[in-house]
Structure 1
Amino acid sequence: MFETTFWRTELWHPLTLHFPISLLLLATITKLMALFLREGQAHFWQRSGAYLLYAGCLMAWLSIYTGDMADGIVARKLCDPTILKDHEIAAYNLAYLFSAATALDLSLRFNLVRLKTKWLQAVVVLLMVVGSGFLIYTSHLGASVVYNQAGGVLVPTSDCAGF
C-alpha cells in the first residue's frame, strides 16, 4: 500500500509547501525586527533573516513546481476550480515578491548597488511584508481547496473497505 500512495503526484505539494510558509514568515519578522535594532545587533538579525529568505524563496519555487504537478489531478475533481486558479496566481505573486526581495538583498550583500543601505533594506522588508500578505492569502485559498472541496484528498467509501 505504501508504494502506491507514496508516488501519488498530488501528495508532493503538501510535503513541500510548509517549509516556505514558516521560513518566509520568520524571515520577514526577523528582517523587520533588524530595522529597529542597533548596528551590531542588526547585522546578526539581517544576516539570519537573509538566510531564511534565501531558503524560503527556493522552497517557494519548489512548492509552485509541485503544485503545478498536482494541478492536473486535483482540478478535475473540484466543484469550483476558480479557487485553485486564484491560489496559483497568488502563489506566483508571492514567489515573485520574495524573489525580488532576495535579489535586492543579495545585491546589498555583495555591494552591487551604491545607494543608502538602510533605505534599500527597508525596501527589502517592504517587499517581504507584501509577500507575506500574499503568503497568508495563498495559504487560505489552499486550505479552502483541501478542506472545502477535498482537493487532493482520497475520500474513502462509506464502508471503509479500502483500509
Structure 2
Amino acid sequence: MTELPDFWRTEVFHPLSVHFPIVLLLFATIFKIIGLWSYKTTWDLGGRFLLIFGVIGVWISIYTGDLADGIVSRQLCDPTVLKDHENFAYITAWIFTVALIVEIISLYFELIRTRILAFLMVLTLIVGSLLLFYVGHLGAELVYQQAAGVNVPSEDCSEFN
C-alpha cells in the first residue's frame, strides 16, 4: 500500500488556507483607513467585502490549525510557541469577527453610523492587523525554527527515487 502524497497530509491544509485571509484582512484594514480619510463609500464598501471574506477565511484557518495541532505538537522542541500561536490566533479572529459584527449592525441601524464609529472600527482593524503580524511571526517561528509540519527527508533522499 502506498502512502498518500504530501498534499493530503492534514497538517498541510493549514498553510494552504492561512495566507488568503491574511491578505484579505490586511487589505480590509487599508481600505477602511482610506475610506475614513477620503469620505468615499467605494473604499468603505470594498473594505466591508474584504472583511467578510477575511473573517470567513480566518475561521477556516483556525479550523485547519486545530487539525494540524495534534500532529505538529508532538515534534516540537518548544511547544509553548505553538500554544502562543494558537491563543493569539483566536484573539485575532475574534477581534476581526467583532469588527464585522459591528459593521453589519451599523448597516441596519443607520442612526449609529457616525464618524466616531468608523474611527473606532479602523482602530479595531489596526489592532487586529498588528496581532495578525504577531501570529504570522509565531507561525513562521514554528516552521522555520522548529520545522513544524515539515517533512524531513532521509539523509540519502531515497524516498524521492
TM-score range, shorter chain: over 0.9
Report Cα offsets for 1:95-154 as digits up to 9, x if no partner. Answer: 01000100001111222x633521111111111100001100000000000000000000
Share of identical aligned residues, percent?
A: 48
Contact 1:30–1:45 (Cα < 8 Å) also in 2: yes
Contact 1:13–1:63 (Cα < 8 Å) also in 2: yes
Match of 1:88 in 2: 86
Q: Which piece of structure 1 moves more, 1-10 or 24-33?
A: 1-10
Long gaps (5+) in structure 2: none
TM-score (norm 2): 0.94
The one-letter amino acid of 2:9's match is R
- How far off is 1:6 after superposition? 2.6
Mapping of residues 83-122 of structure 1, within 5 Å: 83-111=81-109, 114-122=111-119
Task: Note if 1:15 corresponds to 2:13.
Answer: no
RMSD between aligned residues: 1.4
The one-letter amino acid of 1:29's match is I
The one-letter amino acid of 1:140's match is H
Match of 2:31 in 1: 30
Task: Note if 1:4 corresponds to 2:5.
Answer: yes
Q: CA–CA distance in 2 between the matches of 1:144 and 1:133?
A: 17
Long gaps (5+) in structure 1: none
TM-score (norm 1): 0.93
The one-letter amino acid of 1:13's match is H
The one-letter amino acid of 1:76's match is R
The one-letter amino acid of 1:6's match is F
Q: Which runs of 4+ in 1 moved over 3 A?
A: 1-4
